[in-house]
Amino acid sequence: MKISVFGTCVVGQTIAGKLAEIGHQVMVGTRDVDKTMARTEPGLYGLPTFSVWQKQYPGIKPGSYAESAKHGEVVINATSGMGSLDALTLAGISNLNGKILIDISNPLDFSRGMPPVLSVCNTDSLGEQIQRTFPEVKVVKTLNTVTSSLMVNPGQLANGEHHIFLSGNDPSAKSQVAEWLATWFGWKYILDLGDITTARGTEMYLPLWLRLWSELGTGMLNVRVVN
Amino acid sequence: MKISVFGTCVVGQTIAGKLAEIGHQVMVGTRDVDKTMARTEPGLYGLPTFSVWQKQYPGIKPGSYAESAKHGEVVINATSGMGSLDALTLAGISNLNGKILIDISNPLDFSRGMPPVLSVCNTDSLGEQIQRTFPEVKVVKTLNTVTSSLMVNPGQLANGEHHIFLSGNDPSAKSQVAEWLATWFGWKYILDLGDITTARGTEMYLPLWLRLWSELGTGMLNVRVVN
C-alpha cells in the first residue's frame, strides 16, 4: 500500500526501510527535500546520511511533508516529538483528514542535557495535542516505547514475547493498526490501553525506559506485562 | 528487627502486617494515634478500620510519626505521597538521620478526579524531594510500581518472574534493601536503576500502570523487563 513516513532520522529510516522491503510504496516526508538530500554530516550512532541511506532503497521517494501526506493512505509520524506539530501542520490538514496517523514520536526535550525531559506530560501528551490539532485524523499512538530496530523486528528479543501498546479514540483505527503491527513487523503482544489520553502513560514511561537503557547498557529492551 | 511503617491505610497495613507475621517488631506511625484508633469509617476497597485491623496484629503498636521513627532501625514510608513530606517532618530529623528510609509512596494527586495526576514529575520526583529535605537519610525508592498485596508477595503472580526497581544515592543502602526485599517478601528480580533521580522513572510509570489496571481489570499486574 502507499505509506507516508514523516522523519528522515533513525526511526524514520528504520520504519521506511522495513516497509519498502516488504513491498510497500513509501514516500518519506521531510521539511526541505533539497536540504535533506544535501546533508553530509552523519546522523546519530554513525547513521548514514539520508542520501547515502536512500541509495539502498531506490523505491523510497523523498518528498515534502505535504507531498508525502498526500501520497500515503496512512501516515506514520516518526519526526522528533518537539517538531511533530510543525511537521504535521506543514503537511496540510486536507492531506491528513480522514486518514489513520500512527504517531510513534515522543516529546523529548534534549535542550537541557541528558537525560531529556518531556516537553508535555502528566495532564496532556503529544498524542493528545496532535489529536486536538487534527480532530478529523484518526491518531493511534504506538511503538513509542521501544527502540527503532525493535519496532520493526520484535522477534529479535525474547522471541517477541513482550508488549507494545496502543492509544487512540477510534476503535476501528486501532484494530487496523494492530493488524498492521502484526503483519508488517510481527508484533504478537499488542495491548490496547484505551483512548488517546492513555498516550500520557506510554510517553511518561520514557524516563523509566531511558534509565533502563542506561543501566542495562542496551536499548534492546522492552517490558512484558504480566497479570 | 525493629521496623517503623508510616501510614495506616491499605499499603501501610499490608506491609506492617506482613513484617509482623515474619517476626519483626513493627510500630506503625500516624499523625494522631487517638484519631486513627477512633476512626469508624471503613477504608478503601472495604478495608477494615485501623483499630479492627490492629486486633489481628496485637504485636503491632501504633505511635506518632516521631515515636515510630524513633522505634525503627529502618523506616518505611507508606503514607499518601501528597502527605509524605509533612509526615516525615513531623517524625523529626533526628529520629531519621543515618537510617535507611524505604520510600514506597507515589505523589498522586486525586483532587482533580480520576485518573490522578502526579503532583511532581519530569524534572523532579517525590523520592528526590525527600532526599533533599533529609540529606542525612539514606532514601531508597522501591515497591511503588506494584499494588500492595504484590509488594509483600510477588510469588502470587507469574511465579514471581517480574521486576521491582530500586533508586537511591547510597549503594550499600540499596544492597541492604535488595536483601530485605528478597528475604522479607521473596522478590527475585530486583533492578537497581541508579541514583535517586531515577525515581522520576518509576513514579512517572504510574500513569501507565493505572491505565493497565483499568484496561486489564486487575491491579494484580507488573512488568518483566526483557533484554
pLDDT in tens, A173-210: 999 999 999 999 999 999 999 999 999 999 999 999 99
Coil vs helix vs strand at B59: coil
Average pLDDT estimate for B76-103: 98
What confidence score (pLDDT) does residue B47 get? 80
Say if residue B43's pLDDT is above 80: no
Tell me whether residues A122 and B118 touch, CB distance under 8 A: yes
Average pLDDT estimate for B35-46: 83
pLDDT digits (tens, 9 = 90+) for A82-103: 999 999 999 999 999 999 999 9
Confidence of residue A45 (pLDDT cuts 50, 70, 90): confident
Interface A-B, measured as beta-carbon pairs within 8 A, has a size of 108
What confidence score (pLDDT) does residue B40 get? 86
Partner residue facing B194 (CB), from A157, A194, A211? A211
Provide the percentage of residues in chain B whose pLDDT is more than 70: 100
What confidence score (pLDDT) does residue B112 get? 87
Tell me whether residues A215 and B192 touch, CB distance under 8 A: yes
Tell me whether residues A226 and B221 touch, CB distance under 8 A: yes
* CA nearest neighbour of A227 among B112, B156, B132: B156
What's the grid cell of residue A168?
Answer: 487512540
Instruction: Measure in Å the smallest separation between the Cα of B200 and chain A Cα atoms.
Output: 7
| Phi (first) and psi of residue A159, to 5 degrees | 55, 25
In A, which residues are within 8 Å of B227 by CB distance?
A: 157, 212, 216, 218, 220-222
What confidence score (pLDDT) does residue A149 get? 96
Tell me whether residues A226 and B225 touch, CB distance under 8 A: no
What confidence score (pLDDT) does residue A43 get? 73
Tell me whether residues A215 and B118 touch, CB distance under 8 A: no
Q: A217 or A45, which is more confident?
A: A217
What confidence score (pLDDT) does residue A40 get? 86
What confidence score (pLDDT) does residue A41 get? 82
Coil vs helix vs strand at B28: strand
Partner residue facing A223 (CB), from B123, B161, B223? B223
Instruction: Measure in Å the smallest separation between the Cα of B81 and chain A Cα atoms.
Output: 16
- Domain boundaries of chain B, sorted by first residue: 2-216
pLDDT digits (tens, 9 = 90+) for B127-180: 999 999 999 999 999 999 999 999 999 999 999 999 999 999 999 999 999 999
What confidence score (pLDDT) does residue A42 get? 76
- What span, in angstroms and rounded, lies between the C-alpha atoms of A220 and A195? 28
Which homologous superfamily is B2-216 in?
A: NAD(P)-binding Rossmann-like Domain (3.40.50.720)
Average pLDDT estimate for B95-104: 98
Average pLDDT estimate for A116-134: 97
What confidence score (pLDDT) does residue A126 get? 98
What confidence score (pLDDT) does residue A134 get? 98
Mean model confidence pLDDT for chain B: 96
Q: Model ipTM? A: 0.96
Tell me whether residues B212 and A225 touch, CB distance under 8 A: yes
